[in-house]
Amino acid sequence: MKILHTSDWHIGRTLYDRKRYDEFEKFFIWLLNTLESENIDVLLIAGDIFDTGTPSNKAQELYYKFLCNVNKTKCQHIVIIGGNHDSASFLNAPQSILKSINVHVVGAISNNIEDEILILDILKTPNADLEQITKNISSPEISKLIICAVPYLRDKDIRTVNAGESLEDKAQNLIQGIKEHYSAVAELALKKRDELYQECMDQKPAYIPIIGTGHLFAAGGITGDGVRDLYVGSLAYVNIEAFPKCFDYVALGHLHIAQSLGGTEHIRYSGSPIPMGFGEAKQIKKLITIDFSENRDKDHVHEEQYVIPSSVKPSISEVSIPNFQMLERISGNLDHITQKIKELKTNHSNAWLEIEYTGLEIIPDLKTKLDEAILESNLEIRRVKNKRISESIIKSNFSQENLKDLNPNEVFDKCLEINKVEEADKILLKASYQEILNSILEEDIRVS
DSSP readout, 179-214? HHHHHHHHHHHHHHHHHHHHTTTTS-PPP--EEEEE
Mean pLDDT, the chain, integer:
84
pLDDT tens, residue by residue, 28-58: 999 999 999 999 999 999 999 999 999 999 9
**β-bridge partners, 14:** 19
pLDDT tens, residue by residue, 344-396: 999 999 999 999 999 888 887 888 999 999 999 999 999 998 876 655 555 55
Which residue type does 175 have? I
What pLDDT was estimated at residue 204? 65
Q: CA-based Rg of the chain, rounded to a whole angstrom? A: 24
> What CA–CA distance (Å, rounded) separates 102 from 69?
12
According to DSSP, residue 344 is labeled H
Q: What is the DSSP string of 207-236?
A: P--EEEEEES-BTTPPP-TTPPP-SSTTT-
What pLDDT was estimated at residue 341? 96
What pLDDT was estimated at residue 302? 40
Alpha carbon distances (Å) from 270 to 6, 13, 17, 250? 5, 18, 26, 10
pLDDT tens, residue by residue, 85-124: 999 999 999 999 999 999 999 999 998 999 999 999 999 8
25-60 core/surface letters (b: 16 or more CB in 10 A; e: else): bebbeebbebbeebbbbbbbbbbbbbbbbebeeebe
Confidence label for 232 from pLDDT (cuts 50, 70 and 90): very low
pLDDT tens, residue by residue, 120-140: 999 987 665 555 555 555 556
> What CA–CA distance (Å, rounded) separates 206 from 380?
55
According to DSSP, residue 88 is labeled H
Strand order of the β-sheet with 103-106 is 103-106, 77-81, 42-46, 2-6, 286-291, 315-320
**β-bridge partners, 123:** 142
**Of 186, 103, 192, 191, which is closest to residue 150 (Cα–Cα)?**
186
HSE, side-chain direction, 13 A CA sphere, residue 397 = 2
* pLDDT exceeds cutoff 50 at 234: no
**β-bridge partners, 213:** 251
**Strand 286-291, strand 315-320: pairing:** antiparallel
Which residue type does 215 have? H
* pLDDT exceeds cutoff 70 at 174: yes
What pLDDT was estimated at residue 386? 82
HSE, side-chain direction, 13 A CA sphere, residue 342 = 6
CA dihedral angle for residue 202, residue 132, residue 95, residue 67, rounded to 10 degrees: 120
According to DSSP, residue 11 is labeled B
265 in Cβ contact with 247 (< 8 Å): no
pLDDT tens, residue by residue, 293-351: 765 544 444 444 444 555 578 999 999 999 999 999 999 999 999 999 999 999 999 99
According to DSSP, residue 280 is labeled G
How far does CA 216 lie from the centroid of its chain? 9
N- to C-terminal Cα separation, the chain? 41
> What CA–CA distance (Å, rounded) separates 140 from 137?
8
According to DSSP, residue 237 is labeled P
57 three-class SS: helix
> What CA–CA distance (Å, rounded) separates 427 from 431?
6
249 in Cβ contact with 3 (< 8 Å): yes
What mean pLDDT is predicted for residues 6-12? 97
User: What is the share, in percent, of the chain residues with pLDDT greater than 70?
Assistant: 78
Q: What angle do CA 415, 416, 418 make, to 5 degrees?
A: 65
HSE, side-chain direction, 13 A CA sphere, residue 88 = 20
Is domain 2-320 classified as CATH 3.40.50.300?
A: no
- The domain locations on the chain are 2-320, 333-442
What pLDDT was estimated at residue 237? 73
> What CA–CA distance (Å, rounded) separates 427 from 429?
6
Other CB atoms within a 10 A radius of the CB of residue 165 amount to: 14
What pLDDT was estimated at residue 326? 95
What pLDDT was estimated at residue 273? 96
pLDDT tens, residue by residue, 191-230: 999 999 888 766 666 889 999 999 998 877 776 665 655 5
> What CA–CA distance (Å, rounded) separates 443 from 84?
10
